Amino acid sequence: MSEKTTIYDIAKALNITAATVSRALNNNPKISAATKKLVMETAAKMNYKQNRLALALKSGKSNNVGVIVPYIDRNFFSAIIRGIEEELYPLGYHVIICQTHEQESTEIDNINALLNAQVDGILMSVSKLTTQTDHFEYVLEKNVPLVFFDRKKDLKGVSTVTIDDFEGGYRATKHLIDQGCKRIAHLSGDWSLEIYKNRYEGYKKALTDHGIALKKEYVIKTKSDIRAGQKASEKLLMLPEPPDAIFSSSDYVALGAIQQLKKHGIKIPTEFCVVGFSNEPFTKFLELSMTTVDQSPVEMGKMAAKVFLEQVKDSNVKIEKKVVLSPTLKIRMSSVK
């Protein structure tokens, strides 16, 4: 029973040919009900399982999609993958995962490996350190659908699913203004990544829309970890006129800021408000729960999958879809006076 049974085995058992078995198994109309039933039964009896590899080789479709992310154990990305998997699995697709570790060279390697594996599409978030775009063009040349989620590069023929980072930045900042904060600082990330640039732009627009002048010393670019948040907020507090609120592009940075503020005996939210970005799971478990911008990553994954499916449906038509999801502001204790 350990040997795999093929359609030939079934054919032999019934004294018919493999082609007929294949037709019976695939609901081909040109087949008699009798033989079809017979084939179905013996297939079940012999425990036949279709070899997807053979099908893939024949059809040129592997029914696998590749998903590339920086790290799979970052909640934002694993939630996206969950969305992709849940959308695609019912349609018979399998998800192959790769991690770039934020390295461009690894990203290129991942893409080549997935292409060799004949994936039907690649869904990915661009690595922080990626500057070239040749490897993306190469995917397109091979006519393999390419969908960027969250972090993208602007390329012709590539569909993207992102959230409106500008809007996220705007609403976070407006919320702080509504709370009566007058001197709102912003902790940002590297602007070579659009997402951070856009969150900053939203911040800026909200300020000017409400007649608040942008103070250059209130905007600090940092790495995305707790330590960076501590250092940046320390710097802010040393200013002649320190801020009374922080909008951070990262939840981790915001957490570092909160820790540092507390160290200085500053009361949150009464004296100082903080808003983060990403709705990392920990933000709502804090004793002082953190206001943050939710990116609905599972939805983002599902949407990326849907865009991929559209692309596959009309493979002759090159679609270039730009889906922009709306972020949700999760208002919690760190910003409500």
Interaction site with DNA (CB under 7 A): 4, 6-8, 15-20, 22-23, 25-26, 29-32, 34-36, 48-51, 54-55, 57-60
Torsion-angle region of 86 (φ positive above 0: left; ψ -120 to 50: alpha; else: beta):
alpha
Question: With binding defined as CB under 8 A, does residue 25 bind a copy of itself?
Answer: no
328 contact choice in a copy of itself, DNA, none (CB below 5 to 8 Å, kind-dependent): none
26 contact choice in a copy of itself, DNA, none (CB below 5 to 8 Å, kind-dependent): DNA
Spatial separation of the C-alpha atoms in residues 245 and 189, rounded to whole Å: 18
Whichever of 14 and 309 has its CB closer to DNA, that residue is 14
127 contact choice in a copy of itself, DNA, none (CB below 5 to 8 Å, kind-dependent): none
- The whole-angstrom distance between residue 147's C-alpha and the CA centroid of its chain comes to 10
With the C-alpha atoms ordered 315, 318, 319, 320, is the resulting torsion angle positive or negative? Answer: positive
Segment 86 to 115, residues that bind a copy of itself, using CB under 8 A:
86, 89, 94-99, 112-115
Q: Is 102 helix (H, G, I), strand (E, B) or coil?
A: coil
Find tokens 């998997």 and name the residue. Answer: 85
Tokens of 84: 């992709």
Q: For the beta carbon of residue 215, count every other beta carbon within 10 angstroms.
A: 15
Task: List the one residue from 8, 17, 241, 281 that touches a copy of itself (CB under 8 A).
Answer: 281
Tabulate helix, strand, coil % of the chain (nearest 5). 45, 15, 35
Closest approach of Cβ 134 to a copy of itself, in Å?
12
Residues 205-244: x/- map of binding to a copy of itself (CB under 8 A)? Answer: ----------------------------------------
62 contact choice in DNA, a copy of itself, none (CB below 5 to 8 Å, kind-dependent): a copy of itself
Pairing of strands 328-330, 291-294: antiparallel
In eight-state DSSP terms, residue 162 is E
Spatial separation of the C-alpha atoms in residues 230 and 30, rounded to whole Å: 71
30 contact choice in DNA, a copy of itself, none (CB below 5 to 8 Å, kind-dependent): DNA
Spatial separation of the C-alpha atoms in residues 132 and 57, rounded to whole Å: 32
Whichever of 4 and 313 has its CB closer to a copy of itself, that residue is 4
Q: Which residues bind a copy of itself (CB under 8 A)?
A: 1-2, 4, 49-54, 56-57, 62, 64, 71-73, 75, 78-79, 81-82, 85-86, 89, 94-99, 112-118, 141-143, 255, 281-282, 285-288, 298
